[in-house]
Amino acid sequence: MPKRTDIDSILIIGAGPIVIGQACEFDYSGAQACKALKEEGYRVILVNSNPATIMTDPETADAVYIEPVDWTALEQVIAKEKPDALLPTMGGQTGLNCALDLVREGVLQKYDVEMIGASREAIDMAEDRELFRKAMGEIGLETAQAEIAHSIEEAIEKQAEVGYPTIIRPSFTLGGTGGGIAYNQEEFRRIVTHGLEMSPTTEILLEESVIGWKEFEMEVVRDKNDNCIIVCSIENLDPMGVHTGDSITVAPAQTLTDKEYQRMRNASIDVLRKIGVETGGSNVQFAINPEDGRLIIVEMNPRVSRSSALASKATGFPIAKIAAKLAVGYTLDELKNEITGGQTPASFEPSIDYVVTKIPRFTFEKFPGAVDRLTTQMKSVGEVMAIGRNFQESLQKALRGLETGVTGLDEMMPAAVDEEEKVRLRQELRLPGPDRLFFVADAMRQGFTIDEIFTLSGIDPWFLVQIADLVREENSIREGGLNELEADRLRLLKRKGFSDARIATLTSRKESEIRKRRIEADIRPVFKRVDTCAAEFATTTAYMYSTYEEECEAMPTDKEKIMILGGGPNRIGQGIEFDYCCVHAALALREAGYETIMVNCNPETVSTDYDTSDRLYFESLTFEDVMEVIEVEKPKGVIVQYGGQTPLKLARELQAAGAPIIGTSPDSIDLAEDRERFQKLVHDLDLKQPPNQVARSTEEAIAMGATVGYPLVVRPSYVLGGRAMEIVHGDDDLAAYMEAAIDVSNDSPVLLDRFLDRAIEVDVDAICDGEQVFIGGIMEHIEQAGVHSGDSGCSIPPFSLGSELQEILIEQVGKLAEGLKVVGLMNTQFAIQNDVVYLLEVNPRASRTVPFVSKATGVPLAKIAARVMVGESLKQQGFVKQRIPPYFSVKEAVFPFLKFPGADPILGPEMKSTGEVMGVGRSFGEAYAKAQLASGVVLPTSGTALISVRNRDKNRAVELANILLERGFAIVATEGTAKFLSEAGVECRCAKKVLEGRPHIVDMIKNREISLIVNTTEGKQAIRESESIRGEAVRTNVTYYTTLDAAIESCKALEHLGNAEVNCLQDLHKEVAV
């Protein structure tokens, strides 16, 4: 039966901001769902607070609401739009939980909205640990022995039955938040307390440990006629004990016989039936005891997930798109599989003839203090996927795609290690951290046997022998050197996935020498297609991967084409915003008549959806891999400015190899990034920078410190996201920084800038076509200079800057655009101190703020700039005058501190946020309040506020305290602050700092006496001393601010809570004057 005609409009809930465990895969699935339902003629209404998504583009849905993913906001949208149905399965755990809230609050019933794709009962049964266990028992599936607890006392009592180690899983949390593995009672108490806090139902599951068992996932799709297919099986290389999001995973499953596979296949379909997933995709996880094959079911997700995005990319089967169509009544046999050009129906189970490897990307270096061991709570921030014709090739391609500097199985340890180091090696194998795979290779180099490594790590020997084979090959490359690399030998190595760069390292040669030899021997990769059917049917879809085989299926066309290089795995500082830009470039250039080619290796993204571009190459973004694609495709232009730092780093080398880079030239990009060259330009243009110097040694730095003047902002050159950026207050701090900085930037210099105290920071996004400059937006930051721009909130239009200052900024941007010969996007950061404008930096490329500006103003900057890059002027496109909206849009950052207990949540010059949200309002206050709500900050409306601020904030602390008193708060302050406040006539109590004896402020936080914390601090010593305040705030979920600006604006915004209106983006954009 075809689609339902009794519903006309459908509401889709997005996943909100990017957080650990919920990243851009939900933009991929949500955007697919919107497209699929629009295609069917439904009116699609979308709510998502994340502006950096494709799904919140005005073209994606009929009515887009960039509003908090919160039931109260959703109720307003429902009241306004009156949708017939709600599809809750596309927005991750956040979307699903929000849908459940709507049911619980009676909203859906009140407005007669039908939930499609999943029922409340099904969601409950899948998510509620106890219901799930019972249900599984009823269909004869085993689950790990487990006990439910709702309090710490109950947990301790029941733990005895489960034994150590105990797995703790809170109910209804995403990415395993608040869960963990306890090996002793102390750990148990700590994790349970935290887990109970985190679970919205104060419920945790204490589970028998199946650590070390083999772990598998099945991606299942079911329709209303009970037709079921398995889209993909996935095997985790890291066995049970490591969250699947943090595991290296391989598709399809490698170590199952057909009997075991079929048993798991049947079981997963039984699970969907039992849970009652009537239509749509689900992910079912299993564990198998490697000793005897005992199978237990771990969990299931009745919605699209990170794994389903991976499965879609791994097979070419678009799960979210199909799931959306099934939700409106189609059945699998009625839907066509587009990748085979409709030769197969969607009921055809994908079969693949390659191996897919996914490797997570971690950023523990950003969170000193955080425990970097991998457990049941997800900690990675991104992932890379690679496709190869065998496991070795796919693994090594994925490794070099990680962009952590490795080019293969790079050594973590020196060749000769002592016994102590071997103990550490064993530890690394047993208790996995982010680099376990590399330690596995190191263990092999140290002569550990496969058995030994298997016993320690639980990694299946099937994977281990192949890694051992790679290590053996490496040894022989190292011994034989370049001369022994005959053509046959080199071809064999390439078939095992060795990169030119890795072979170069092993032979102590340059990558270019290996490349030259390879090309002379005519050893080039071919491109094979991802077709869902293992070549059984011909495909017209150009979704490709490279491999070393005989036959190439690339079949490039002779059309005019533009190639876009993506951003690789998500990390802090480079995420969905850049993917958004790449997708827009592809869409705009396709519209302009070009064939578009995307190169990227991030499976979570919209850019790697095979129909975003005309042709998709799923390749790691290394010089070698990208250049091979360029040589096959021979594009007219290559865009490197949209994918963040990743493709930019390749620009020079690609250009030197003959790649036609379009837009701003690599030389100009270098000019903007190279401090000394840039200084000269600033000087020539007669602009002002904060006093600064470039130091190449510690001695030099100390000498310069005095002339520039403390406090200083110090950072290595060529970094993104403020990596290793710090504010130092004296020689000692600076010396310590310099010692640590050397390995960050490999001999490249360190930059010293005078830190501009109490300056307003401003970002300006603009487009230049070589002649004219179009100002996209001026963003005034909420936090003062000193907080990384990616971590600070900002507002369009500016909320306090006068028009004269804005004119000065625009003029300076114009000069810079001309000076840098920008063709395309540019982002400029300024600091304004006492009405003097200082230039902080210029980035002649796509910036993190492009999607936010585009959503705020209705001007698709990335698209316009892409057309500029292929020669269409701004004037031709009709974009000359800046468009200033008559409403406010506020961007707010979202942080992962909850996932990293132990890391200090203080904000500074190094970026730490994973995502962002946007709030829109008629006033700045309203927009700010909505942004706070959307970012998950619960603004308390009453109680006691704790204020503890550094000296230079004390005047403003008075302002803050008065606002709080006015709103009925009581105030507690630490000694210095309390004294100052009292002297200013503010009524407050004095509390002890931690070092001043008990009961102190941390005791008060623990005892729930505090509902709001404002703590600003500076200087290494003071930061260390006050860390426990912030840490406790994170642990106990008390709202806290580490900048006074944010605290004051938030308190001012309190009055807007509860009476904000929801706005449809399309309507807002109509208000913007052209």
Considering only 16, 68, 83, 350, the residue that binds another protein (CB under 8 A) is 350
Nearer to another protein, 175 or 388 (CB): 388
- Residues of this chain, 654-683, that bind another protein according to CB under 8 A: none
Considering the complex, state which of residue 354 and residue 980 has its C-beta at the smaller distance from another protein: 354
Question: Least CB distance from residue 390 to another protein, whole Å?
Answer: 5
Would you say 165 and 191 are in contact if contact means Cβ atoms under 8 Å apart? no
Q: Residue 522 interacts with another protein (CB under 8 A)?
A: no
- Residue 224 or 992 with smaller CB distance to another protein: 224
Scanning 128-136, 351-359, 580-588, 632-640 for contacts with another protein by CB under 8 A, the matching segment is 351-359
Q: Give the CA distances from residue 534 to residues 316, 392, 1029, in Å, rounded to whole numbers and listed in that order.
A: 11, 20, 57
21 binds another protein (CB under 8 A): no
d(Cα 671, Cα 1021) in Å, to the nearest integer? 37
Strand order in the sheet with 1039-1041: 989-991, 970-974, 944-948, 1012-1015, 1039-1041
Q: How far is the CB of 471 from another protein (least distance, A)?
A: 13
Interface pick for another protein out of 252, 690, 819, 860 (rule CB under 8 A): 252
Shortest separation between residue 506's beta carbon and another protein, angstroms = 21
**Quick check: 528 binds another protein (CB under 8 A)?**
yes
Candidate list 535, 555, 656, 740; residue touching another protein; CB under 8 A = 535
CB of 7 to another protein, least distance (A): 22
Q: Residue 321, interface with another protein (CB under 8 A)?
A: no
Report the nearest approach of another protein to the CB of residue 538 (Å): 7
CB atoms within 10 A of CB 806: 19
Write down the least CB distance from residue 440 to another protein, Å: 16
Q: State which H helix or E strand residue 1066 sits in.
A: helix 1065-1071
Site string for another protein, 537-566 (x = CB under 8 A): xx----------xxx---------------
> Is 354 or 580 the residue whose CB approaches another protein more closely?
354
Q: Is the dihedral of CA 466, 471, 472, 473 positive or negative?
A: positive
* 227 in contact with another protein (CB under 8 A): yes
Does residue number 979 form part of the binding site for another protein (CB under 8 A)? no
720 within 8 A of 663, measured Cβ to Cβ: no
Closer residue to another protein, CB minimum distance, 433 or 556: 556
- CA gap 512, 520 in Å, rounded: 12
C-alpha–C-alpha distance, residues 463 and 460, integer Å: 6
DSSP 464: H
Told to check if 527 binds another protein by CB under 8 A, we report no
Task: Pick between residue 325 and residue 389 the one whose CB is nearest to another protein.
Answer: 389
Q: According to the binding rule CB under 8 A, does residue 343 interact with another protein? A: no
CA distances from 307 to 25, 280, 283, 645 (A): 9, 14, 7, 27
What token pair was written down for 78? 């429902």
How crowded is residue 471: how many other Cβ atoms within 10 Å of its Cβ?
Answer: 17
Least distance CB 337 / another protein (angstroms): 10
Least distance to another protein, CB of residue 450, Å: 9
Pick the piece of the chain touching another protein (CB under 8 A) from 24-32, 304-312, 383-391, 714-722: 383-391
Find out whether 870 and 637 touch, Cβ atoms under 8 Å: yes
257 contacts another protein (rule: CB under 8 A): yes
Q: β-strand 794-796 against 712-716: which pairing, if any?
A: unpaired
Among residues 363 and 547, whose Cβ is nearest to another protein? 547
Cis geometry, peptide bond prior to residue 569 (ω within 30 degrees of 0): no
What is the torsional sign of CA 718, 724, 729, 730?
negative
Beta bridge partners of 973: 947, 990
Tell me which stretch binds another protein (CB under 8 A): 321-329, 458-466, 555-563, 756-764.
Answer: 458-466
Of the listed pieces 151-159, 347-355, 644-652, 949-957, which binds another protein according to CB under 8 A? 347-355
By CB under 8 A, tell whether 349 contacts another protein: yes
Q: Identify which range of 106-114, 253-261, 359-367, 516-524 contacts another protein by CB under 8 A.
A: 253-261
Provide the minimum distance between the beta carbon of 526 and another protein in the complex, in angstroms, as a whole number. Answer: 8
Residues 6+ apart with CB under 8 A from 968: 942
Among 186, 258, 420, 804, binds another protein (CB under 8 A): 258
One DSSP character per residue, 250-264 reads EES-SS--HHHHHHH
123-182 binders of another protein (CB under 8 A): 140
Q: Is 745 in the site for another protein (CB under 8 A)?
A: no
Residue 330 Cβ vs another protein, minimum distance, rounded to whole Å: 12
Considering only the stretches 9-17, 204-212, 341-349, 839-847, report the one whose residues sit in contact with another protein under the rule CB under 8 A: 341-349
Separation between Cα atoms, residue 440 and residue 957, nearest integer Å: 53
Q: How far is the CB of 628 from another protein (least distance, A)?
A: 18
| Number of residues that this document lists for the chain | 1074
Beta carbons within 10 angstroms of residue 335's beta carbon: 18
Element (H, E) at 715: strand 712-716
Please identify, using beta-carbon distances, which residue of 547 and 570 lies nearer to another protein: 547
Nearest CB to another protein, comparing residues 254 and 512: 254
Residues 927-966 close enough to bind another protein by CB under 8 A: none
- When binding is defined by CB under 8 A, the residue of 354, 448, 642, 1041 that contacts another protein is 354
CB 661 within 8 A of CB 654: yes
What tokens does 948 get? Answer: 């503890």
Is the CB of 347 or the CB of 692 nearer to another protein? 347
Question: Residue 328 or 842: which CB sits closer to another protein?
Answer: 328
Residue 10 contacts by C-beta under 8 Å, 6 or more apart in sequence? 37, 42, 43, 44, 45, 83, 84, 85, 86, 87, 116, 328
Provide the pairing of β-strand 295-301 with 280-288. Answer: antiparallel
Binding status of residue 825 toward another protein by CB under 8 A: no
Strand partners of residue 1013? 946, 1040
Q: Work out how close the CB of 345 gets to another protein at its nearest, in angstroms, rounded to a whole number.
A: 6
Tell me the C-alpha to C-alpha distance, in Å, between residue 981 and each of 260, 964, 968, 1012: 70, 13, 17, 17
Q: Is 331 in the site for another protein (CB under 8 A)?
A: yes
- Asked whether position 480 contacts another protein by CB under 8 A, the answer is no
Q: Per CB under 8 A, does 488 bind another protein?
A: no
Q: Which range binds another protein by CB under 8 A, 43-51, 465-473, 761-769, 1008-1016?
A: 465-473
Comparing CA positions, the residue from 766, 775, 769 lying closest to residue 868 is 769
Pairwise CA distance, residues 281 & 320, whole Å: 7
> Out of 391, 642, 678, 980, which residue is the one contacting another protein (CB under 8 A)?
391
Work out how close the CB of 529 gets to another protein at its nearest, in angstroms, rounded to a whole number.
Answer: 9
Contact call for residue 285 and another protein (CB under 8 A): no
By three-state DSSP, how is residue 1001 classified? helix
**What part of residues 592-651 is at the interface with another protein (CB under 8 A)?**
none
| β-sheet with 760-769: strand ranges across | 836-843, 823-833, 760-769, 773-781, 794-796, 888-894, 915-921
Task: Give dist(CA 1051, CA 928) in Å, integer.
Answer: 10
229 makes contact with another protein (CB under 8 A): yes
Q: Is 816 in the site for another protein (CB under 8 A)?
A: no
Binding site for another protein (CB under 8 A): 140, 225-230, 252-259, 261-263, 290-293, 295, 331-333, 345, 347-355, 389-391, 460-462, 465-466, 469, 528, 533-538, 549-551
